Amino acid sequence: MWLVLNTTNRARIGRYACETTMARHNCEDESHAHSHAHGHGHSHEPPVETFSQQSLFAYIDTTKVRVLNAVSTDRSSSVSKYFLKPQDQKYDTSLYLESDADCQVLFQVPFTASVKIFSVLLRVNRNGSGYSSPKQLLLYKNYNKNLDFDTISDLKADYNIEYPNNVGVEPGYDNESLVDDDTFVKFDLPRNVFQNCESLTVLVKNNWSDDEDDLNRIYFCELRGEVTGKLRNTGVPIIAVYEAAPNPAHAKLESQTANYAT
């Protein structure tokens, strides 16, 4: 079973178990998905279901994926393979990204075509010693400014999602795979917002422990949707480099991001 969240576009959103229907079942490939929709003046219509066949994995430009403030399990230069995985590696727990200096992570996923994003499927860590589940994740469509924490934090996100507390993989789990669909959470996105996407940038802003020293892990991130056309040739690169003089307050070292170009 996958936990499916339909969140609202607010800076602070409610807990995932809220006032709407708690027992709607939809067929999700060969499993079922629970839907926990949030209502804050928005429609209570259930979101259109999405499926693994709608994965945009084949349209991710892995050579241009960028990640800030994260390390991989073996510090490979091929950063995308640790969390942007094909379906046959979905349950792999030996590869993951882990936040480095603090709980925040910033990553940007460019596409080789213009796409419409319907949903995001995530698998992260449960709470544990030195670890806390991520809480707020901010999503930015076609972000083309400097890729750094200060710049992006000053901008309003196109959509905010809240990951439920303590859902995911135990930090101490040391097997190579975990076949458990309850450790995944799916977030349905507003389709009128995430159309004509050339890139998606995600900021993991904080965690449930409210302790910035508690780290988090991202085991799997799947973007679902459809291709809508070729990229426009604007002459402006989708990916921008982060600031030349990083803010010391973040302590997110250049040496730990410069190597993360797939």
pLDDT digits (tens, 9 = 90+) for 82-120: 999 999 999 999 999 999 999 999 999 999 999 999 999
Cβ atoms within 10 Å, residue 123: 27
- Taking CB atoms within 8 Å and a gap of at least 24, the contacts of 228-232 are 228/113, 228/114, 228/115, 228/116, 228/195, 228/196, 229/113, 229/114, 229/196, 230/113, 230/114, 231/111, 231/112, 231/113, 231/114, 231/198, 232/114, 232/198
CATH class of 2-256: mainly beta
Q: Output DSSP code: residue 90.
A: T
The per-residue pLDDT for range 171-204, each reduced to its tens digit, is 999 899 999 999 999 999 999 999 999 999 999 9
pLDDT band (50, 70, 90) for residue 13? very low
Q: Is the pTM of this model over 0.85?
A: no
Q: What is the mean pLDDT of the segment spanning 51-74?
A: 94
Q: Is the pLDDT assigned to residue 6 strictly greater than 60? A: no
Domain boundaries defined on the chain: 2-256
What average pLDDT does range 15-36 have in this prediction? 34
**pLDDT tens track for 33-42:** 333 333 333 4
Q: Name the CA dihedral angle for 44, 26, 28, 11, rounded to a multiple of 10 degrees.
A: 20
- What's the rounded mean pLDDT across residues 7-19? 32
Question: Phi first, then psi: what are they for 222, rounded to 5°?
Answer: -120, 130
Give strand ranges (E) for 18-104. 25-28, 31-37, 66-68, 70-72, 97-99
Give the DSSP letter of residue 215: B
73 SS3 class? coil
